[in-house]
Structure 1
Amino acid sequence: MPHGSNFLLGQLAAATLAGIAPHLSVIDLATADVLAEPHQRIQRVYFPHSGIISSIVELSDGSTIETGMIGNDGVFGASQALDDKVSLNLVTVQIAGKASVMTSDRLRAFASELPDFKALLIKYEQFFLSQVQQTAACNAVHDIDARTCKWLSRMHDLVGPDLLLTQEFFARMMGVRRTSVTTVAGALQDAGLISYTRGRLHIVDINQIRKRACECDDAVRSNYQRMFPLVEADAKDRCV
Structure 2
Amino acid sequence: MAISPDPRKNHLLAALPDAEWLRWLPQLEAIELPLGKVLYESGSTLNYVYFPTTAIVSLLYVLEDGASAEIAVVGNEGIVGISLFMGGESTPSRAVVQSAGHGFRLRARTMKDEFNRAGPVLHLMLRYTQALITQMAQTAVCNRHHSLDQQLCRWLLLSLDRLQGNELVMTQELIANMLGVRREGVTAAALHLQEDGLIRYARGHITVLDRQGLELRTCECYAVVKKECDRLLPNKLAT
**What range describes the TM-score normalised by the shorter chain of this pair?**
over 0.9
Contact 1:45 1:81 in 2 (8 A): no
The total of aligned residue pairs comes to 234
Q: Do residues 117 (structure 1) and 127 (structure 2) align?
A: no
Identity of aligned residues (%): 33
Q: Match for 2:93: what amino acid?
A: N
Q: Do residues 127 (structure 1) and 131 (structure 2) align?
A: yes
Deviation string, structure 1 residues 137-176 (Cα, Å, up to 9, x no partner): 1111111011111111111111131000111111111111
Superposed displacement of residue 81, structure 1: 3.5
Q: Match for 2:11: what amino acid?
A: F
| 2:44 aligned partner | 40
Q: Match for 1:137: what amino acid?
A: V
Looking at structure 1, the residues matched to 206 and 222 of structure 2 have their Cα atoms a distance apart, in angstroms, of 19
Looking at structure 2, the residues matched to 82 and 25 of structure 1 have their Cα atoms a distance apart, in angstroms, of 22
Higher helix share: 1
Superposed displacement of residue 231, structure 1: 2.5
Contact 2:69 2:180 in 1 (8 A): yes
Looking at structure 2, the residues matched to 64 and 113 of structure 1 have their Cα atoms a distance apart, in angstroms, of 37
Q: What are the equivalent positions in structure 2 for 1:69-148 lying under 5 Å apart?
A: 69-113=73-117, 115-148=119-152
Q: What are the equivalent positions in structure 2 for 1:157-236 lying under 5 Å apart?
A: 157-159=161-163, 160-232=165-237, 235=239
Q: Do residues 155 (structure 1) and 159 (structure 2) align?
A: yes
Q: Do residues 31 (structure 1) and 35 (structure 2) align?
A: yes
Contact 1:81 1:105 in 2 (8 A): no
Contact 1:138 1:216 in 2 (8 A): yes
Say which SS state the counterpart of residue 31 (structure 1) adopts. coil
Contact 1:192 1:204 in 2 (8 A): yes
Deviation string, structure 1 residues 191-233 (Cα, Å, up to 9, x no partner): 1110011111100000000110111000000010000141245
Contact 2:15 2:237 in 1 (8 A): no
Quick one: which of 21, 24, 28 aligns to 1:20? 24
Say which SS state the counterpart of residue 192 (structure 1) adopts. coil
Q: Which runs of 5+ in 2 are unaligned?
A: none
| 1:238 aligned partner | none
TM-score by length of 2: 0.94
Say which SS state the counterpart of residue 158 (structure 1) adopts. coil
Looking at structure 1, the residues matched to 221 and 104 of structure 2 have their Cα atoms a distance apart, in angstroms, of 29
RMSD of Structure 2 on Structure 1 (CA): 1.4
Contact 2:31 2:104 in 1 (8 A): yes
Say which SS state the counterpart of residue 161 (structure 2) adopts. helix
Looking at structure 1, the residues matched to 82 and 185 of structure 2 have their Cα atoms a distance apart, in angstroms, of 35
Q: Which runs of 5+ in 1 are unaligned?
A: 236-240
